[in-house]
Structure 1
């Protein structure tokens, strides 16, 4: 990236609209109703932690809540007060909605990763300096004395100093301020941060909601592929977007065809996949193939443990899973291999190993494990 190129938004999936631009939230009516009820009954918590798997709509919900809170006037109890709101929807023509779209709303603070020290790329973490900017923002009085909102996207990216600084803000929250905190893995956060927030947990989307959300984000999915996409993406719109952009369903089908030859791996098919992973400019495809292999091994472990195959994500997958992982003992061996291969892939990528060779090695180790299990 050239020094003059603008840095990408750290809270946006490449090729998809930013969450603040997303008009509709799919599959989370219960979470929206919970926020609306708290608002209309005067029990709006000062800090809401939005949790759930990555890509399920947490950021979209945060922006919907922020837009609603900043655009909806307080009920003053007067004779001419408007009726209580029944939805979080705010008209696109509303001045607040327009300002939020342009990141020009003075009553909102967006806390996310900023540029690194050289301003040549995004930082890998949210620093304590960014949290201090937010605290300074809240130390100033709102021009109209009204409500203010902060979106933190995400808590998982706070470094230790930043997390401690945020904790102090949660312990002594400013008046008329609502914090919307996005967390992908809340179990890894400071317990003291979690205990000071009201949690809104978003579940993975079902096939129909996932397809609708993907279409709204500019992607597309054939009706016949909705179940497979929901399985491989674990109900995450973000992951579904990556899968469709990189032809992930086709890649997974190719993997299933290859693994159907275990424990005598078809070398020609394996080399063809390795060549795809090692092609120039195919780093994202390599990453996706590693993800899909890890997912296949996890599905093997699940099959042997539960004695039940998950819904198919590719033709003939169920039969293959049942054959390769018939017992809990086989499931444990597949789970151990998944952990080993995942760590090896991370190390290999860190030291710039040849992607084609790295993928081929992973496939050969899977073949070796299948052979060991078959000989028992």
Structure 2
């Protein structure tokens, strides 16, 4: 398998990799904060780029990398103490040599730390590479490769940028090894740590980084981001609502026809004559067979989201302002008509989550797991 054909653990299937994505939408505040640090000559060596999954954290990291590696060293101050020029944007010409090298993963000034191939031996990793199987975490030996990069002698005395995607995936030994590098960073090295759940990182890692917090995208920014990625975004308001403002989740929903699947899920509980058992059986049967794994995972995600929206509807006394699919507001209001019902839905959401995790751990048949979940929701709806 060539490098061009090899899958990447930090790429959404079917979408451009963040290093290939030049524009970032909806995160102007984070970009401004970073530029303020550059312009004030207070560029910290460690940055924690945090926020929900899929809102552009990796895209921002690569934008920062391109910017720093094309930033003249004079930007740190001239020979006679004259003020460096002020920078107002992270944009870099896509035809710049650094941009070309970054897209090809051949830029010597960038080190990308991410999960490697599964296996503890060279032969096992070679086999995993052929099968496209990645390790479940970033291991300490992968962090150790970073040591040589940070301490290598740069011929032009230039900058070095490290992107950790994501820091959440560091195992304990890898996290401790990275911490030592954050504690004693070499000159002109900047480390960009991407994290979806920064509260789970070592407190000592968080304390040695400045944070750039990214937020969910608005429907307008979602539309722009999806268009840039080459996807039709006609349903962007509903898509943004269901994806929680996450472009990554929106792409997953588009690829798995998530809006239609969510509509099918709600239809199970919308019939006036009661629960539609044949429809439930048909839905469960579509979760079995070759290539159904992604659809099954999508349904589990949508089930969690459905229960969350039910609980919020009951607690707030009204459904969400934006419907993810037609008639959603009516169905949510019928099923969660009181604070008492909201508590029921919150409790059943936790029970179903526990059941699902257990079922997956023991390789329970997906169809059976879906039916068990749907029947539990029905029991709660009529209770």
**What does residue 209 of structure 1 align with?**
221
User: Pick from 240, 247, 251: which aligns with 1:241?
Assistant: 251
Cα distance in 1 for residues equivalent to 2:138 and 2:230 = 29
Is the Cα contact below 8 Å between 2:15 and 2:229 reproduced in 1?
Answer: yes
What is the CA-CA distance between 1:82 and the residue it aligns to?
7.8
**What does residue 87 of structure 2 align with?**
85
User: Pick from 320, 328, 343: which aligns with 2:354?
Assistant: 343
Q: How many residues get paired?
A: 369
Cα distance in 1 for residues equivalent to 2:272 and 2:299 = 18
What is the CA-CA distance between 1:34 and the residue it aligns to?
1.2
Tell which deviates more after alignment, 303-312 or 106-115.
303-312
**What does residue 182 of structure 2 align with?**
170
Name stretches of at least 5 consecutive residues in structure 1 with no aligned partner: none
Is the Cα contact below 8 Å between 1:263 and 1:371 reproduced in 2?
Answer: no
What is the CA-CA distance between 1:83 and the residue it aligns to?
3.9
**What does residue 60 of structure 1 align with?**
59
Tell which deviates more after alignment, 291-300 or 342-351.
342-351
Cα distance in 2 for residues equivalent to 1:353 and 1:89 = 49
User: Pick from 283, 288, 299: which aligns with 2:293?
Assistant: 283
Superposed CA deviations along residues 206-235 of structure 1, whole A, max 9, x for unmatched, are 11111211121122221xx22211111111
**What does residue 302 of structure 2 align with?**
292
Find out whether 1:269 has 2:270 as its counterpart: no
Tell which deviates more after alignment, 227-236 or 70-79.
70-79
Superposed CA deviations along residues 77-96 of structure 1, whole A, max 9, x for unmatched, are 26999843321111112111
Tell which deviates more after alignment, 140-149 or 58-67.
140-149
Find out whether 1:189 has 2:201 as its counterpart: yes
Cα distance in 2 for residues equivalent to 1:207 and 1:92 = 27
**What does residue 109 of structure 1 align with?**
111
- TM-score, normalised with respect to structure 1: 0.93
- TM-score, normalised with respect to structure 2: 0.92
Cα distance in 1 for residues equivalent to 2:211 and 2:83 = 30
SS of match in other structure, 2:286: helix
Tell which deviates more after alignment, 263-272 or 55-64.
263-272
What is the CA-CA distance between 1:3 and the residue it aligns to?
12
**What does residue 255 of structure 1 align with?**
265
Is the Cα contact below 8 Å between 2:78 and 2:84 reproduced in 1?
Answer: no
SS of match in other structure, 1:259: coil
**What does residue 352 of structure 1 align with?**
363
Cα distance in 1 for residues equivalent to 2:328 and 2:3 = 48
User: Pick from 307, 318, 324: which aligns with 1:313?
Assistant: 324
Q: Give the RMSD, CA atoms, in angstroms.
A: 2.1
What is the CA-CA distance between 1:196 and the residue it aligns to?
0.9
Name stretches of at least 5 consecutive residues in structure 2 with no aligned partner: none
Cα distance in 1 for residues equivalent to 2:264 and 2:212 = 38
SS of match in other structure, 1:96: helix
